[in-house]
């Protein structure tokens, strides 16, 4: 009996061919995935069920199972379909390439914040996600780095975007669930600011009084630029000591 993972691999990497003759099918795998993405965009991925997707298509939940075996496989297909909306990193200078890769990921997460709930290390990767990653590796491959260094450089960029993206996604989800914006939530915490005193929090009080928290820099733009600056130093270094993680795949 095939596992959910085996079925996902087949659906992702060996998708059913769309009929080229005759009337267009009222329901297909692609239509189910498209409808599911719209539900997740509007209501959050926690609201996603086969029944809810079927309702938006005017069908029964049972009719969907002929095209997608279950919710687990549907989530895998959704992730790869969203990756398909991004562009391949073009060949060229490494810094411009990694910046392009990061911006594509950032735009993807901004359009579909729920993706951050699904991009785990054990989510089955599909062809679109993998080809985007492959193109990013190619940009770094001309720098004379060791294979593990190439992987680490691209991973550092991807994990940075994931981190900033999760903060953004948390804000979106909190606002959806409460109906209160991030700014309004903080504005309603006047009692907290009474504890910002120089004797207790000298540096934070100074930064607060000088407007450091009122004019924040863009987390993505600032962080990406500094990360790329650091990678430039690493790439140009004559010696690059490496620390390997204790557990490997």
Q: Which two tokens stand for residue 79?
A: 């992730």
The burial class, CB within 10 Å (0-12 / 13-18 / 19+), for 184 is exposed
118 and 140 Cβ atoms separated by less than 8 Å: no
What is the mean pLDDT of each successive set of 10 residues along the chain, which is 249 residues long?
73 77 72 98 94 96 94 95 97 98 98 89 87 98 94 97 93 88 84 85 90 88 98 87 66
Assigned token pair, 115: 């993706």
User: Half-sphere exposure of 54 toward its Cβ, with a 13 Å CA cutoff?
Assistant: 15
Q: Write the secondary structure of 162-211 as one string of H (helix), E (strand) and C (coil).
A: HHHHHHHHHHHHHHHHHCCCHHHHHHCCHHHHCCCCCCCCHHHHHHHHCC
Domains 4-83 and 94-236 alike in fold: no
Token reading at 77: 């297909």
Looking at residue 203, its pLDDT comes to 93
CA distance 47 to 169: 15
**Could you tell me if 8 and 124 are in contact, meaning their C-beta atoms sit under 8 angstroms apart?**
yes
Q: What pLDDT shows up at residue 22? A: 47
**What number does CATH give the domain 4-83?**
1.10.10.60
Backbone φ and ψ for 161, nearest 5 degrees, come out as -65, -40
The matching CATH number, chosen from 1.10.540.10, 2.40.110.10, 1.10.3720.10, 1.10.357.10, for 94-236 is 1.10.357.10
Annotated domain spans of the chain: 4-83, 94-236
Helix (H, G, I), strand (E, B) or coil at 223: helix
Q: What is the CA radius of gyration of the chain?
A: 22
């Amino acid at each position: 009996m095939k596992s959910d993972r085996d079925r996902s691999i087949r659906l992702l990497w060996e998708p059913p061919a769309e009929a080229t003759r005759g009337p267009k099918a009222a329901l297909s795998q692609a239509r189910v995935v498209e409808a599911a993405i719209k539900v997740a965009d509007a209501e959050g991925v926690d609201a996603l069920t086969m029944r809810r997707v079927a309702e938006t298509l005017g069908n029964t939940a049972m009719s969907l199972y002929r095209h997608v075996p279950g919710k687990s496989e549907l989530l895998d297909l959704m992730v790869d379909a969203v990756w398909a909306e991004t562009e391949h990193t073009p060949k060229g200078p490494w810094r411009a390439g990694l910046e392009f890769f990061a911006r594509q990921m950032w735009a993807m997460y901004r359009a579909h914040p729920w993706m951050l709930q699904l991009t785990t290390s054990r989510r089955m990767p599909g062809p679109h996600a993998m080809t985007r990653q492959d193109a990013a590796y190619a940009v770094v491959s001309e720098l004379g780095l060791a294979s593990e260094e190439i992987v680490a450089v691209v991973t550092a960029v991807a994990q940075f975007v994931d981190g900033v993206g999760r903060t953004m996604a948390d804000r979106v989800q909190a606002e959806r669930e409460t109906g209160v914006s991030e700014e309004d939530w903080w504005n309603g915490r006047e009692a907290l600011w009474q504890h910002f005193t120089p004797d207790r929090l000298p540096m934070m009080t100074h930064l607060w009084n000088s407007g450091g928290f009122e004019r924040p820099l863009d987390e993505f733009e600032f962080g990406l630029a500094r990360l790329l600056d650091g990678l430039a130093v690493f790439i140009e270094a004559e010696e690059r000591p490496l620390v390997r993680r204790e557990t490997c795949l």
